[in-house]
Chains A and B, each alone.
Chain A
Amino acid sequence: MNFVFYLTAAIAIISTIMVIFHKNAVHALLYLVTSLLAVAVIFYQFGAPLAAALEVIIYAGAIMVLIIFVIMMLNQGDSTVVQEQAWLQPTTWVGPAILSALLLVQLILLVSSGQISSTQTFHYIGPKQVGIALFSHYVLAVELASMLLLAGLVGAFHLARRRKIDQGDSNNAI
């Protein structure tokens, strides 16, 4: 069954690379959805079905649809591909790529240096156990998360609203 894991991991990595190098925003978003679905399969393999379902429903469903709607509202057309082509020159991306690769090499060395324990069995954790933990130990955090979502709702409504006053005088900040 390890073959399935490695295939899924390869799909996730390749589609993520396509996200960060693609010129078209909608195509990049589709690659991102593919990457998230691959990660959901990996969650399922690691014995976390609730996390896999939440990944598909919330990440690949809700959040990606939100970004799709904003891309539709911006309505930039075909000129963005040329613009992205001009912005994504090798001179601009080679520095960050080298630094990130160094960071990745450090992480790989850290992982492979054997600090992690060697037992390789994974435990199946079903939704029931997660729900019990969520509403017993973490009930205060659940309340805080609900307040965070409420603040996000109010903030998004306030920020995205169009005001006529700001149209005339764009130098006035909010």
Chain B
Amino acid sequence: MPFETAPGLEAGVLLASILFCLGLAGLMMRRNIIFMLMCVEICTNAAALMFVVAGAHWGNADGQVMFVFVVTLAAAEVAIALALVLQFYHRKHTVDIDQLNELRG
């Protein structure tokens, strides 16, 4: 059954693109590892929005199925990443990502 209250597909795609580019820009700008993690969440969320919008456009449930998997992935990723942040802060007493340069030759 058609759903009348939403604008076109292009508006949803544009919103997802804008949110993804904002998250990408933030990921490159920040040096605080917690802010970088938040920006990764923004990017993941934009991709999930794209899945849902496309699934709604073609009347297919696969978009929301993919959304469920994206949320699962984001939850697992953020748990691992926050554990790494805790270990990093425990060792270095900072959240500056530039301090993780011990692999240099």
Residues of A within 8 A of B (CB): 1-2, 4-6, 9, 12-13, 16-17, 19-20, 25, 28-29, 32, 35-36, 39, 42-43, 45-48, 50-51, 54-55, 58-59, 62-63, 66-67, 70-71, 73-74, 76, 80, 84, 87-88, 92-93, 95-97, 99-101, 103-104, 107-108, 111-112, 116-117, 119-125, 129-130, 132-134, 137-138, 141, 145, 148-149, 151-153, 155-160, 162, 166, 170
Contact = CB atoms under 8 A, between A and B. Distances in A.
Interface string B1-42: 111111111111111011101111110111110110111011
Contact of A1 (B4, B56, B72, B80): B4
Given A74-B89, A96-B28, A116 B83 contact: no
Contacts of B21: 100-101, 103-104, 107
Contacts of A59: 41, 45, 71, 74
Interface residues of B, number: 76
